[in-house]
Protein backbone atom coordinates (compact mmCIF):
# COMPACT_ATOMS: atom_id res chain seq x y z
CA UNK A 1 0.00 0.00 0.00
CA UNK A 2 1.25 3.47 -0.84
CA UNK A 3 0.11 6.87 0.32
CA UNK A 4 1.19 10.48 0.49
CA UNK A 5 2.71 9.55 3.86
CA UNK A 6 4.78 6.71 2.42
CA UNK A 7 4.41 2.97 1.92
CA UNK A 8 3.21 0.32 4.30
CA UNK A 9 4.96 -3.00 4.58
CA UNK A 10 5.33 -5.07 1.43
CA UNK A 11 3.32 -8.27 1.48
CA UNK A 12 4.69 -11.08 -0.67
CA UNK A 13 2.54 -14.07 -1.56
CA UNK A 14 3.98 -17.50 -2.24
CA UNK A 15 0.58 -18.97 -2.99
CA UNK A 16 -2.48 -18.15 -5.03
CA UNK A 17 -4.33 -15.24 -3.55
CA UNK A 18 -7.93 -16.12 -2.70
CA UNK A 19 -10.66 -13.80 -1.49
CA UNK A 20 -10.04 -14.91 2.12
CA UNK A 21 -6.29 -14.38 1.79
CA UNK A 22 -7.01 -10.98 0.28
CA UNK A 23 -9.06 -10.13 3.37
CA UNK A 24 -6.22 -11.37 5.60
CA UNK A 25 -3.78 -9.08 3.76
CA UNK A 26 -6.18 -6.12 3.97
CA UNK A 27 -6.41 -6.65 7.73
CA UNK A 28 -2.61 -6.36 7.98
CA UNK A 29 -2.54 -3.27 5.78
CA UNK A 30 -5.47 -1.78 7.68
CA UNK A 31 -3.34 -1.93 10.85
CA UNK A 32 -0.55 -0.12 8.98
CA UNK A 33 -2.99 2.47 7.62
CA UNK A 34 -4.44 3.16 11.05
CA UNK A 35 -0.96 3.59 12.45
CA UNK A 36 0.00 5.87 9.56
CA UNK A 37 -3.20 7.93 9.43
CA UNK A 38 -4.56 7.70 12.95
CA UNK A 39 -8.23 8.59 12.98
CA UNK A 40 -8.32 9.62 9.32
CA UNK A 41 -10.34 7.43 6.98
CA UNK A 42 -7.95 6.11 4.29
CA UNK A 43 -9.31 5.00 0.93
CA UNK A 44 -8.59 1.53 -0.33
CA UNK A 45 -8.43 1.16 -4.09
CA UNK A 46 -8.57 -2.20 -5.73
CA UNK A 47 -9.60 -3.35 -9.16
CA UNK A 48 -12.27 -5.71 -10.46
CA UNK A 49 -10.29 -8.90 -9.93
CA UNK A 50 -12.72 -11.63 -8.81
CA UNK A 51 -11.02 -11.99 -5.43
CA UNK A 52 -11.52 -8.25 -4.87
CA UNK A 53 -15.19 -8.33 -5.79
CA UNK A 54 -16.13 -11.55 -3.98
CA UNK A 55 -19.12 -11.37 -1.64
CA UNK A 56 -16.97 -12.04 1.44
CA UNK A 57 -14.63 -9.18 0.49
CA UNK A 58 -17.52 -6.79 -0.07
CA UNK A 59 -19.00 -7.81 3.29
CA UNK A 60 -15.61 -7.37 5.00
CA UNK A 61 -15.28 -3.87 3.51
CA UNK A 62 -18.84 -3.00 4.52
CA UNK A 63 -18.56 -4.36 8.08
CA UNK A 64 -15.20 -2.61 8.61
CA UNK A 65 -16.49 0.61 7.05
CA UNK A 66 -13.65 0.71 4.53
CA UNK A 67 -13.71 3.57 2.09
CA UNK A 68 -13.47 1.67 -1.22
CA UNK A 69 -14.48 3.75 -4.27
CA UNK A 70 -16.33 1.64 -6.82
CA UNK A 71 -15.54 3.78 -9.87
CA UNK A 72 -11.73 3.49 -9.87
CA UNK A 73 -10.09 2.32 -13.14
CA UNK A 74 -8.38 -1.04 -12.76
CA UNK A 75 -5.01 -0.58 -14.44
CA UNK A 76 -4.63 2.94 -15.78
CA UNK A 77 -1.13 4.18 -14.82
CA UNK A 78 -2.39 7.74 -15.24
CA UNK A 79 -5.05 7.34 -12.59
CA UNK A 80 -3.77 4.43 -10.52
CA UNK A 81 -0.38 5.30 -8.93
CA UNK A 82 0.31 1.76 -7.73
CA UNK A 83 0.67 0.74 -11.39
CA UNK A 84 3.60 3.16 -11.64
CA UNK A 85 5.15 1.64 -8.50
CA UNK A 86 4.85 -1.86 -9.96
CA UNK A 87 6.48 -0.62 -13.17
CA UNK A 88 9.42 0.88 -11.26
CA UNK A 89 9.81 -2.29 -9.22
CA UNK A 90 9.74 -4.42 -12.36
CA UNK A 91 12.48 -2.30 -13.95
CA UNK A 92 14.66 -2.63 -10.84
CA UNK A 93 14.07 -6.36 -10.40
CA UNK A 94 15.08 -7.00 -14.03
CA UNK A 95 18.56 -5.69 -13.15
CA UNK A 96 18.92 -8.49 -10.62
CA UNK A 97 19.07 -12.25 -11.16
CA UNK A 98 18.01 -13.92 -7.91
CA UNK A 99 19.41 -17.35 -7.16
CA UNK A 100 16.85 -18.21 -4.49
CA UNK A 101 13.38 -17.14 -3.40
CA UNK A 102 15.01 -15.60 -0.35
CA UNK A 103 17.27 -13.48 -2.60
CA UNK A 104 14.24 -12.31 -4.54
CA UNK A 105 12.35 -11.38 -1.36
CA UNK A 106 15.32 -9.41 -0.02
CA UNK A 107 15.63 -7.55 -3.31
CA UNK A 108 11.92 -6.72 -3.43
CA UNK A 109 12.02 -5.36 0.10
CA UNK A 110 15.10 -3.25 -0.68
CA UNK A 111 13.42 -1.77 -3.78
Q: Is 79 exposed, middle or buried (0-12, 13-18, 19+ CB in 10 A)?
A: exposed
Residues 66 and 99 in one domain: no
Q: What are the pLDDT tens digits along the chain (111 aa)?
A: 777 787 888 888 888 999 999 999 999 988 888 888 887 777 888 877 899 889 999 999 999 999 888 776 666 656 667 778 888 888 998 898 888 989 988 988 888
Residues 86 and 60 in one domain: no
Between the CA atoms of 101, 28, 43 and 85, what dihedral angle is there, to the nearest 10 degrees? -10
Residues 78 and 66 in one domain: no
- Cβ proximity of 32 and 1 under 8 Å: yes
Residues 106 and 81 in one domain: yes
pTM of this structure: 0.74
Number of structural domains, the chain? 2
Q: Rounded distance, CA 72 to CA 42, Å? A: 15
Residues 17 and 47 in one domain: yes
pLDDT in the model for residue 78: 62
Amino acid sequence: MISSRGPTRLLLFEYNLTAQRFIDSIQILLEDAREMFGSLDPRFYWDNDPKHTAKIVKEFARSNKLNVPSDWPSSSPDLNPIENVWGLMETEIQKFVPKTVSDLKKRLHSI
